[in-house]
Amino acid sequence: MQRVSDDDPYLWLEEVTGEPALAWVAERNAETAEALAADPAFAPLKERVRDVMDAADRIPYTVRRGAHLYNFWRDADHVRGVWRRTTLEQYRKDVPEWEVLLDVDALAEAEGEKWVWDGAGVRRPDHDRALVRLSRDGGDAVVVREFDLDTRRFVEDGFRVAEAKTRTGWIDDDTVFVGTDTGPGSLTDSGYPRQVRRWRRGTPVEEAELVFEAGQADVSAWGYHDDTPGFERDFVGRALDFFRSETYLLRPDSTLVRIDVPEDAVAYAHRRHLIVTLKSDWLGQPTGSLLAFDFDAFLAGDRTHEVLFTPDARTALAGHAWTRHHLILETMRDVSTRIEVLTPAPEGGWTRSPLVGVPELSAVSVVDTDPDVSDEYFLDVSGFLQPSGLHRGVIGDDTELLKQAPDRFDAAGLTVRQHFATSPDGTRVPYFVIGPDHAATGPGPTLLYGYGGFEVSLTPSYASVTGRAWLERGGTYVIANIRGGGEYGPDWHQAALGAERPRAFEDFAAVAEDLVTRGVTTPAMLGASGGSNGGLLMGAMLTRRPELFGAIVAQVPLLDMTRFHKLLAGASWIAEYGDPDDEADLPHLRDISPYHRLTADAAYPPVLLMTSTRDDRVHPGHARKTAARLRELGHPVLFHENTGGGHAGAGDNEQAAHNSALVHTFLWQRLAGPAAG
């Protein structure tokens, strides 16, 4: 049978809420429920997963806003969650007293809407008002409402924006920057704000002053007010594509001054500094470097700079965060984190020193700082078998362990190892293996996870759900750090862009082969999973290297690479994959498009495709059409579509636990059952 042509017979499944499409979804969901949810192991597994998600002794991670630490919390009694705050003194206690600001469950019940929390921007310096974002059932589009933190009520005549992919930010007590849907021409082709408006309280948003406008083909526009005392400035900018942007200083007279850095660099102002992260060589500094300029001198044309970080073949910049007087620098060496403290001197130059000792094969990340006021920082330390510990410190003093998460699964007999596979072009690809000692146990059921796109790094962390649902049952879990990610900086990502995307696929397949060679597993006992861009990776494994796997799971996947740019936010990813409307790009996009590579005569492993009706980022049509095509060709496929949840696939812990139990039941049936041999 021929592959799918340009005359796609399943376009009707792209009608998200079309009656025929939803009827088809209901039939497929029923089949999946019969195959998986009816398994005797399903209900106990779901209960154990839900127990982890709802556990009262989870670490309530916070963000400091003035005197308070803010947290959003979900559990069995707060399915949609509560936004709350406390003081540091209370937070140090085993059971802090929390002031509940907004109960999303109560709001959802009162308004008859399936509200999902999307965050809040708190007004500084008084921290008395917030712009709260709420999503209907988990989509990217939100409504925005002004909220009074003192009365704990929405402001009746305050700032309100109807549902859209909106961006807002405080300027002063009565003014905000806003980008939203105000009618024709206000959104880009990707569905994001094209315009930045300065909106005064009490006036219609449609009449707000237009201060900046991006191009129709750009991804988005944005505005930001820097309210740092003594350094108050306004900035606007546009994302030309997913990786290139332009930033402008918006002067009080409304004139624009371009921050003249490369389009692919990331630049921002911090007090007297301009900080630039390079994605290509510039001023004699290599890709992946972090540079500091004097902001005013830079605007005057001076390009004198300090080099804060230079990468090497094994080390990349992972992130950085400011305290009041210091810069905390996070780097990765072979995907293991290192932390340094950099301190700018008033007369110029920077000093550096280590912050704390970091355990090998661990993830250390800065959770929060208070850059306007103090040198306080919050640090999370974890590992694959090491539950998170939240530390607080003030640079120059000892740290304190504020919170320690308990063990969530039995790790007895489990080890963590890092290996390197060799891709066909000779590239060494790191991967982590978490599981038993296979030299003693022999091959076993193994789950290989990957992403490989958008410069996203997969770093060590304690995965409670994976521990309970997979490791504790005797499975092995593997994370592949393939090209397309950011584990070795921008070059690692750019090596798999556009027509070079197959390098990511080859890397992942090389890891799979290496696992078999090392005796960790066998093809019949090896499963693979990934979501979103990782779902494209799963589609590639299904259609390119099906012999390597006993089962494949693709969640909220991207699978039709000839139409992705026409669906929802897809146009914003052209810089990652290529443009289907460009004759130069279409051949490689058809070649990497799993939907178009499906044939009747291939021997595909069983596949589970999962998506969400409310995913307004990656269109559910990708998974729907691929499932329909696989069924037509007679291949084993299960399909599950959650009616809510957005791109996360789940809007609450009940949905998330159900989805996780489906995935792990499917994999265990195929990889640990009789079919695995």
Are 460 and 559 within one domain? Answer: yes
Are 472 and 590 within one domain? Answer: yes
Q: Count the helices and strands in the chain (H runs, E runs).
A: 15, 37
Cα distance between residue 103 and residue 88, in whole Å: 22
Residue pLDDT, tens place only, 422-458: 999 999 999 999 999 988 899 999 999 999 999 999 9
Which pLDDT does position 138 carry in this prediction?
Answer: 87
Are 665 and 531 within one domain? Answer: yes
Considering the domain boundaries, does residue 3 fall inside one?
no
Considering the domain boundaries, does residue 279 fall inside one?
no
As a whole number, mean pLDDT of residues 19-32 equals 97
Whether residue 361 is predicted with pLDDT greater than 60 in this model: the reply is no
pLDDT: which is higher, 209 or 346: 209
Are 669 and 573 within one domain? Answer: yes
Are 490 and 632 within one domain? Answer: yes
Are 386 and 535 within one domain? Answer: no
Say what angle helices 502-517 and 533-544 make with each other, to 10 degrees: 70
DSSP H helical ranges for 203-331: 295-299
2 falls in which pLDDT band (50, 70, 90)? Answer: very low
pLDDT: which is higher, 543 or 358: 543
Residue pLDDT, tens place only, 210-219: 999 999 999 9
Are 631 and 489 within one domain? Answer: yes
The amino acid present at 613, given as its one-letter code, is T
Considering the domain boundaries, does residue 598 fall inside one?
yes
Whether residue 676 is predicted with pLDDT greater than 70 in this model: the reply is no
Residue pLDDT, tens place only, 99-116: 999 999 999 999 999 999
As a whole number, mean pLDDT of residues 359-367 equals 74
Which pLDDT does position 348 carry in this prediction?
Answer: 81
Choose the final residue of a domain: 369, 385, 407.
407
Question: Domain containing 434: what range?
Answer: 11-38+414-676
Are 491 and 633 within one domain? Answer: yes
Considering the domain boundaries, does residue 264 fall inside one?
no
Considering the domain boundaries, does residue 456 fall inside one?
yes
Give the mean pLDDT of the chain: 95
Whether residue 357 is predicted with pLDDT greater than 90 in this model: the reply is no
Active site residues: 532, 647
As a whole number, mean pLDDT of residues 78-83 equals 96
Considering the domain boundaries, does residue 497 fall inside one?
yes
Which pLDDT does position 483 carry in this prediction?
Answer: 98
Which pLDDT does position 128 carry in this prediction?
Answer: 97
Residue pLDDT, tens place only, 162-177: 999 999 999 999 999 9
| pTM for this predicted structure | 0.92
Evaluate whether 179 touches 193 at the Cβ level (below 8 Å).
yes
Evaluate whether 542 touches 550 at the Cβ level (below 8 Å).
no
pLDDT: which is higher, 356 or 420: 420
Which pLDDT does position 411 carry in this prediction?
Answer: 95
3-state secondary structure of 658: helix
DSSP assignment, residue 477? E
Whether residue 6 is predicted with pLDDT greater than 80 in this model: the reply is no
Tokens standing for residue 540:
């590639």
Are 489 and 403 within one domain? Answer: no
As a whole number, mean pLDDT of residues 451-469 equals 95
The domain tally of the chain equals 3
Hey, which bits of 413-549 come out as E strands?
A: 415-422, 428-435, 446-449, 476-480, 526-531
Please measure the distance between the N-terminal and C-terminal CA atoms of the chain and give it in whole angstroms.
Answer: 31
Choose the final residue of a domain: 387, 407, 427.
407
362 falls in which pLDDT band (50, 70, 90)? Answer: low
Considering the domain boundaries, does residue 605 fall inside one?
yes
Cα distance between residue 28 and residue 498, in whole Å: 33
Q: Which residue has the tokens 């410069």?
A: 455
- E strand or H helix that includes residue 258: strand 256-258
Residue pLDDT, tens place only, 521-541: 999 999 999 999 999 999 999
Choose the final residue of a domain: 158, 175, 205.
158
Evaluate whether 598 touches 3 at the Cβ level (below 8 Å).
yes
Handedness of CA 169, 172, 173, 179 (dihedral sign): negative
114 φψ region: left (φ > 0), alpha (ψ -120 to 50), beta (else): beta
Are 481 and 358 within one domain? Answer: no
Which pLDDT does position 237 carry in this prediction?
Answer: 98
Cα distance between residue 572 and residue 499, in whole Å: 17
Considering the domain boundaries, does residue 76 fall inside one?
yes
Are 649 and 665 within one domain? Answer: yes
CATH number at residue 559: 3.40.50.1820
As a whole number, mean pLDDT of residues 460-469 equals 94
Are 74 and 21 within one domain? Answer: no
